[in-house]
């Protein structure tokens, strides 16, 4: 196996996966930048725009709540990097009893919500790219988690990646 590439075939992008975090923030920034032309048109002018704003706002609120809950439940184990810290413990309680990657799920929901709120097709495309990217990042992270925690395989069998009972 080549150095810097895990069993998943996904690159490490740094000793602790630093490159994955850089890519994530670049996509989040791009999401905002591509929607900037739509900011002047945020005021609703039709039933469809009201629905898009309501759905986008709801998705962002749920995504934000999910992320905040995940941050709280991780406590001292929190790191933006996909490779767990040496002193970290596996968290399987709180929101982590429902999904394995609630921070990523929250970011995806916020990205999709933002694209609905701004009614921006380019932002929707970037939000989809962000979802694909975070799915890949989660797979790389899970390879490291499998290496670190003996109980991780059982946790994977009983807990979905992003959406409880679905995926």
pTM: 0.91
pLDDT > 70? residue 156:
yes
Spell out a b/e string for 42-54, using b for 16 or more CB atoms within 10 Å of the CB, else e: eeeeeeeeeebbe
Residues 46-66: pLDDT tens digits?
Answer: 998 999 999 999 999 999 999
pLDDT > 50? residue 155:
yes
Residue 20 lies in a domain: no
Residue 25 lies in a domain: no
Residues 6-51: pLDDT tens digits?
Answer: 567 899 999 999 999 999 999 999 999 999 998 887 888 899 899 9
User: Domain span at residue 129?
Assistant: 47-158
User: Given this model, what pLDDT does residue 1 score?
Assistant: 40
Residue 163 lies in a domain: no
Would you call 53 helix, strand, or coil by DSSP?
helix
User: Given this model, what pLDDT does residue 2 score?
Assistant: 42
User: Given this model, what pLDDT does residue 4 score?
Assistant: 66
Residue 112 lies in a domain: yes
Q: For the chain, how many structural domains are there in total?
A: 1
- Nearest Cα to 105, choosing from 76, 80, 130, 84? 130
């Amino acid at each position: 196996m080549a150095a810097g590439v895990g069993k998943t075939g996904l690159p490490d992008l740094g000793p602790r996966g630093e490159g994955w975090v850089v890519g994530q923030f670049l996509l989040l920034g791009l999401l905002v930048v591509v929607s900037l032309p739509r900011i002047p048109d945020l005021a609703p002018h039709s039933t469809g725009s009201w629905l898009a704003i309501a759905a986008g706002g709801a998705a962002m609120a749920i995504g934000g709540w999910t992320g905040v809950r995940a941050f709280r439940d991780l406590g001292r184990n929190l790191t933006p990097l996909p490779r767990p810290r040496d002193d970290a413990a596996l968290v399987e309680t709180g929101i982590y009893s429902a999904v394995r990657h609630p921070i990523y799920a929250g970011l995806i929901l916020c990205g999709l919500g933002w694209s609905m709120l701004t009614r921006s097709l380019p932002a929707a495309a970037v939000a989809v790219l962000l979802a694909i990217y975070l799915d890949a990042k989660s797979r790389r992270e899970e390879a490291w988690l499998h290496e670190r925690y003996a109980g991780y395989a059982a946790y994977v069998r009983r807990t979905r990646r992003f959406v409880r009972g679905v995926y």
